[in-house]
């Protein structure tokens, strides 16, 4: 039970940032490329990539690569 509480707490911390929460909201509508997310969020690609990396580390998003484009989904 404690392990589940720690995991939930970590996920809540990750989603506690408004930028990451907005990423999650946009991905709830379906898979998006990094470029699409940059346009939708009006966020620099470097910042977006850092947020996505943290979300990927927490297993909140999945990725697939198509040529040079990276796509994210829930």
Provide the phi-psi class of 42: left if phi over 0, else alpha when psi is between -120 and 50, else beta.
Answer: left
Q: Give the pLDDT score at 42.
A: 95
Whole-angstrom distance, CA of residue 7 vs CA of residue 41: 27
pLDDT digits (tens, 9 = 90+) for 11-67: 888 888 899 999 999 999 999 999 999 999 999 999 999 999 999 999 999 999 999
Architecture of the domain defined by 2-73: Orthogonal Bundle (1.10)
């Amino acid at each position: 039970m404690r392990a589940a509480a720690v995991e939930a707490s970590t996920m809540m911390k990750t989603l506690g940032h408004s930028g990451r929460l907005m990423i999650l909201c946009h991905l709830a509508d379906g898979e998006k490329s990094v470029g699409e997310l940059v346009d939708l969020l009006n966020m620099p690609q470097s910042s977006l990539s850092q947020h996505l990396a943290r979300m990927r580390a927490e297993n909140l998003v999945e990725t697939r690569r198509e040529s040079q484009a990276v796509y994210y989904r829930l």
